[in-house]
Every structure is written in structure tokens, then in C-alpha cells.
Amino acid sequence: MAKVLKIRDLTLRDGQQSSFATRMTQAQVERCLPFYKDAKFFAMEVWGGAVPDSVMRYLSENPWTRLESIKAAVGDVSKLTALSRGRNLFGYAPYTDEIIEGFCRNSIESGLGIMRIFDCLNDVDNVKSTIKYVKKYGGIADCAVCYTVDPKYPKLSFWDKLRGKKNPDLVFTDDYFVGKAKELAALGADMITIKDMSGLIPPQRVSALIKKLKAAVSIPIDFHTHCTPGYGLASVYAAIAAGVDVVDTNCWWFGGGTGAPALELVYLFCQKMGIELGVNMEAVAKINAELKSIRTELNVSVFGKDKPAQKAFNPLTDAVPAEVEAELNRAVKAAQSEDFATLLAAAQAIEAYFGFPAPNKLVQEAEIPGGMYSNMVAQLQALKAEDILPRAMELIPTVRLSAGLPPLVTPTSQIVGAQAVNCALDEKAGRAMYTTKNNQFVNLVKGEYGKTPVAIDPEFRLQICGVREETAYDISKYQRQPNPKLEEAGGVLLAENEKEELLLELFPLVAKPYLTSVKKKAYEATVAASAPAEKDAPAAATVKQPITGKTVVAPLPGKVIDIKVKVGDTVVPGQEVVLLEAMKMENSITADFGGVVKQILVAVGDNVATDAIILEIGEAAPAAAPAAPAAPVSGNKVVAPLPGRVIALKVKVGDAVSAGDEVAVLEAMKMENSITSDYSGTVQQICVAEGENIATDAVIMIIG
């Protein structure tokens, strides 16, 4: 009897997140659902990751509805899966057991079958509570070990070796990963996933690791990877040959590239290996028919244009080209004989024939997640500091090692990447590295995220945190989010039930405006329905005048979340005019020239493409006679080391400060950055307000 390999379909979560920034609407999902029930996947990853955040943030949709609608369509045929960050759940803060239990119970009641649980530090203590409550309410605890690699340390010179210098010992060995799997199995894990979030595991490494895991634990092993650096398909083939129980794939049109390998290419390989998938490929073809159109729709809505796609292929109706057939035979032989170099070449040749994206050599060389790299690029574009990207990339191993070698997975990838950018900016400005620290990096080094894979030097912790001792996060200090009454919505509570309360706890910055909008619209609809009918006045047409002045354009696709100017305002070069949200980051859009705002061509909430015109700026009117200058305030200036939003002022005029004291908190790159004074003295003037967006080198306060 042929062996059965189980397939977890990632298309509706990780697939669309990897390729289309999680912008798949509820309506687009529902177009595919009639065929998913017939497809009979072992599991479908449909929730968690960025889905709950993004459906509220960008689509104004309810995350719970997303999960419940899929359950209603698929029933019990496939187990629905979500990705969760252990004690951090879907958010970034460590949550209390009360919140974890409520979240697990509601998720399972809404249709979730499997919770894939990971911790960004591979700290097993951080997943205990989630395992406990998932199993308590009848779910399957799929515990993931995050695969990562040791940094590429500089090659030691002859003289370094002579002096006895050596690079650190390797940490992320096979024994390390097997040890973590055994700890998780002892805690009650129902299955173990090798979570290769960066696609960095080559075929030879996954083959050896699968065999060791199968020998060490008695529960099923799943393999999850991505194709960005070029290993993905070959490594899945190697995992299958090594006896893995489950592999993660995407349907054809969402496969390859930054996502997981295409199911159809796994199907062809398994046919030759005599392995059954238990998947109805005819139903998969019907899913793909919808996905092809959805792919085009998402490309246009997210990126502003349709991108080249792989060749169409249906393994049930299309003949396998002779070239592909030969490479498949070569791949099977290589996998069976453990000739991994040949296996990799054959798998890459198959993907190249069909036109899947080529391996990203930069990501492969840097050994970081593709999403981390794209976030850094977007951040530096927003900072207008693209020139420091090479240096920021160089600094990642140093920053990571100093912080205890955390795996580069959400949120630690973002924390380390943002801090590497801060360090590069510090260097460029002639400041010492770590002058600018994001608070999340401080908390990581302090110990609030959990145990790092290697111990952090107490002297470095003193430099960053002001203390030498590791300090764990105190759950008892957790404060629930405020849940006010919304007067604009008839006095109802912002969160009216437990599911809404959970959204508010996990995504406070996103859930608050989303829930407010939902409640306000419902209230206004009720008021309108009860009011006397009035004849609708014709809507005023939006008139766009021909553009004759200079334009401010979007440097990347995103959503307009704030417009900082109005028609008639005078702006100066470098002034922030719009706030654009892209890849979950707030990007400050500034004017490169001065003048008067003639037209604003977008509205808050609009999704704009790269190079979309945001506003038009014309020549400024002749300047009026200058007013008498205010009396200057003498003293030392505390300036912003990078652009961002002032979220807290820690002092007031008249306060005495010492050099090194925190005086403000600046939000930039989705991180909280502590602004400290280089001077001792008295606060003479505060030049910004909380909530204000400021540019690099903007004066925050003056200390005399």
C-alpha cells in the first residue's frame, strides 16, 4: 500500500500573506470555498499570522467572521489552522492566562481545529499556557520549532588566531532543534512543525533533521518552508523522502516565490515516489481557476499593476513536458540516493521551466526572512536613508548576537532589523551605536520576551537597559485595554462581547478605530431608518483640476491613514504631508519642495499604488512682512535622531534632567524609540506636542 502524505494548504493565510500582503477580501475567499470542501486537505491554514490584523486594518472586516465563514463552508472535512505566537498570541505583548484561555476557547468554538504555536525565541516556557488551553477546549496543539542559522561571523585573520581569538561556537545544531522538539512533546504537543520561516534550510539539512526528529519523538512531523532563497521545493522533496508526515504547500497561483512550494509540483514528485496525498486534485483545479483571477485583482489593488505569473498548469489535464519529466526523474533518483546538490538543481530547473520566481540571492546570502528585508527597505525609503541599507544589513549579525541570537521571526526579526537601522543611522550621524534604541529592543535585551538562545553579556544589558540582571516580564502588571462608551455611536461600549474584547487586547491600535467605525455605522443606520424619509440630494462630483504644479507621489503602495495638510496650506521642503501605511508600517511622506497645496487627490482610507499622485503643490504667494521674532531661548537642543511620531513627553518645562535621562518617546518603524538627553540642566522649552509627527533633527526641547 502506498504511503499517504498529508497536505496542509496555506493559500488562504500564509500564501496570500507572503505574496499579496494579506489583502484577500472576504468576498474573494468565499469564491474559493465551495471547492475547498471537495479538495479534502488534511488541514487548511486560514487564520492567525497577519490575517486578523490586516482584515481590520485594510479591509474593515471582522476576523472572527473570516474564520467562522470558512468553517461553515468546509465543515469537518479539513482541520482549520491558525498561527499563534505563544504567550504573545497574535499581538506583541505577553498576555495573561485569562486572555490566552479566552482566546483559545473562542477560536476553537469558531471553528479552529489546529493551533500552530511558536515562540520567537524558541523559549518553551512561553508556549505552555497556549498548549494547555488549546488541548483543554478540544483543539490540536501543533508546536513549532523555529529554524534559524548562526550568523556568518567574519573570517579570522592569521593574527586573530595567533592572539587566541575565535568565533562563538555554533548554537543552532540538529541537537538544539531535536532538544526543543522533545521538550514540546513532553508538554503535550500533538505534532511538531519545523518552521523554516525564512526558507533557509537546504535539502541536506532538512533530510537529516527529519530523521533525527522521527527517532526522537513519536508524534507527527510537519515541514513548513518558503521558496525565497531557492531551497523550498528541493527541501520539501528531501523531507518527503526522509519520511515527513505533513508538508505545507500553496495552490499553484499562490505558490513559489516568497511563499511555500506549489502543491502541483509536490503532487508530480509524489506520483513518481508512489506516495498518495489524499487530496482531490480536480477540486484543487477549480480552486486555482478562481485564484488566477484573484491573483490579478490583488496585484492591481496592492501593487498597482499586474505582475508576470508562472505558466498555467493542471497535472490532471496537461501533459508533463519532456524537460520537466526528465528533471522529475532526476529529482526522485537524487532524493532516494541523498544526492542533494543534484536534487536542488533539478527542483530549481522545474520551477524555472514553469516561470516561478528565481531564487533571491540577496536574501539567501543575508540569511534573513524576505519580509524582514522588504520591511527594512520600506523603512529606509520612508526615512529617505536608502543609502545606509548595505550597512544596516552588515550590522544585523552584530545586533543579533549582542541580543542573544534570537531567531529572525516575528516579532524579533522586526526588532532586530529596526535596531540595525537605528545603529546605522547613529553611525551616519557620528553618534555611538545604540544611542538610538527602540524600546522593544531594550525589552528583548532586558529579558521581557523570554530566554534568548544564548546568554546576553551583563555589561551590554547594562548599556542598553541600565541593569545587569535579566528581568522577566511581570504578567501581574498587565493592564487591560480601556473599553469606553462611544457617544458618537449611541453610547454603546467599544467592545460589546468577549470576541471584540479579545480583538481590542491583541490589536489595540487597529481594533479601536475598526470597532468604532463599525459601531458608528450601525448607529447611524438605525437613526437613518427611524428618521422621516427625505429626498436624496444629488451627490457633488469630485472635481480634479489639471495638474500644473509639482506633485508629491507615493514611494510605495499603501493605505492613506492621515493627511497632514489642507488645500491652501503653505509647506516647506521636508515637511510631512501624508502618513501612508504599508506592510504594517507607518511611512511619513514628505514634500521635496516648498509651496502652497493646490489639490489633494487622495482621501484617508484610500489604497494607493506606487507613484500615485497624492497632492499638488504650486508656487507660494509672496511672503508677508516678517513678524517680530520671539525672544530666543538659549540652551542645548535635544533633536530627533529619526523621523517619527511623538507618543510621550517624559518631562515638562522647569524639570531638572541629567545626561542620559529619557525625555521623550518617539514611534518610528513600528518601534518605540527612547529619546534621551545628552545634557544635564533644566528644561527651558518643549518644541513638540504628543501626537505630532516630526522629521529627523527636529528640535524636541531645549535644555539650559
pLDDT in tens, 348-393: 999 999 999 999 887 788 777 776 777 777 777 767 788 888 898 8
Closest to 504 measured CA to CA, from 496, 691, 129: 496
Q: Is the pLDDT of residue 435 over 60?
A: yes
Q: Is the pLDDT of residue 597 over 60?
A: yes
Strand partners, 645: 667, 693
Q: Is the pLDDT of residue 625 over 60?
A: no
First to last CA, the chain: 83
Query: Do you know the residue count of the chain?
Result: 704
Residue 699: how many other CB atoms lie within 10 Å: 14
Residues 118, 90: contact at Cβ < 8 Å?
no
CA–CA gap between residue 80 and residue 116 (Å, rounded):
10
pLDDT tens digits, one per residue of 88-111: 888 767 899 999 999 999 999 999
CA–CA gap between residue 384 and residue 355 (Å, rounded):
34
Specify the pLDDT at position 161.
Answer: 79
Closest to 343 measured CA to CA, from 356, 329, 354, 353: 329
372 contacts: CB under 8 Å, gap ≥ 6: 408, 413, 414, 417
Residues 422, 438: contact at Cβ < 8 Å?
yes
Residue 48: how many other CB atoms lie within 10 Å: 24
Residue 423: how many other CB atoms lie within 10 Å: 27
CA–CA gap between residue 486 and residue 492 (Å, rounded):
6
Residue 35: how many other CB atoms lie within 10 Å: 19
Residue given cell 482610507 in the structure block? 605
Helices (H), 367-507: 370-382, 389-402, 412-428, 439-446, 458-465, 498-506
Mean pLDDT, range 274-301, rounded to an integer? 96
CA–CA gap between residue 240 and residue 622 (Å, rounded):
73
CA–CA gap between residue 199 and residue 221 (Å, rounded):
17
364-387 in b/e form (b: 16+ CB < 10 A) is bebbbbbbbbbbbebbbebbebee
Closest to 555 measured CA to CA, from 527, 520, 580: 580
How sure is the predictor about 165, in pLDDT bands with cuts at 50, 70 and 90?
Answer: confident
Most confident of 82-96, 275-289, 358-372, 471-485: 275-289
Eight-state DSSP code of residue 250: B
Residue type (1 letter), 640: A
User: What are 570's three cell numbers?
Assistant: 503653505
Residues 277, 7: contact at Cβ < 8 Å?
yes
Specify the pLDDT at position 542.
Answer: 42
Eight-state DSSP code of residue 368: S
Specify the pLDDT at position 456.
Answer: 95
How sure is the predictor about 112, in pLDDT bands with cuts at 50, 70 and 90?
Answer: very high
Low-confidence winner among 58-67, 203-212, 266-275, 653-662 (lowest mean pLDDT)? 653-662
CA–CA gap between residue 401 and residue 45 (Å, rounded):
33
Quote the mean pLDDT of the chain. Answer: 89
Q: Is the pLDDT of residue 626 over 80?
A: no
CA–CA gap between residue 170 and residue 71 (Å, rounded):
44
Residues 360, 382: contact at Cβ < 8 Å?
no
Mean pLDDT, range 484-512, rounded to an integer? 94
Mean pLDDT, range 128-136, rounded to an integer? 97
Q: Is the pLDDT of residue 1 over 60?
A: no
- Checking DSSP bridges between strand 246-249 and strand 275-276, what pairing results, if any? unpaired
- Checking DSSP bridges between strand 671-676 and strand 437-438, what pairing results, if any? antiparallel
Helices (H), 591-631: none
pLDDT tens digits, one per residue of 252-264: 999 999 999 999 9
Eight-state DSSP code of residue 435: S
Mean pLDDT, range 632-659, rounded to an integer? 86
Closest to 180 measured CA to CA, from 50, 86, 82: 86
How sure is the predictor about 670, in pLDDT bands with cuts at 50, 70 and 90?
Answer: low
Q: Is the pLDDT of residue 623 over 80?
A: no
Helix (H, G, I), strand (E, B) or coil at 33: helix
Q: Is the pLDDT of residue 627 over 50?
A: no
Q: Is the pLDDT of residue 80 over 90?
A: yes
How sure is the predictor about 621, in pLDDT bands with cuts at 50, 70 and 90?
Answer: low
User: What are 471's three cell numbers?
Assistant: 528581568
Q: Is the pLDDT of residue 660 over 90?
A: no
Specify the pLDDT at position 583.
Answer: 47
pLDDT tens digits, one per residue of 172-185: 999 999 999 999 99
Q: Is the pLDDT of residue 119 over 70?
A: yes
Low-confidence winner among 110-114, 339-343, 377-381 (lowest mean pLDDT)? 377-381
Strand partners, 579: 562, 588
Specify the pLDDT at position 256.
Answer: 94
Residue type (1 letter), 348: Q
Mean pLDDT, range 322-344, rounded to an integer? 97
How sure is the predictor about 608, in pLDDT bands with cuts at 50, 70 and 90?
Answer: confident
How far, in Å, are 273, 336, 345, 425, 615 from residue 333 at the CA level?
A: 10, 5, 13, 51, 60
Residues 503, 63: contact at Cβ < 8 Å?
yes
**φ/ψ of residue 661, rounded to 5:** -70, 140
Q: In what order do the strands lie in the sheet with 699-703?
A: 636-639, 699-703, 681-686, 656-657
Give the DSSP letter string of 614-625: EEEEEPPPPPPP
Q: Is the pLDDT of residue 169 over 60?
A: yes
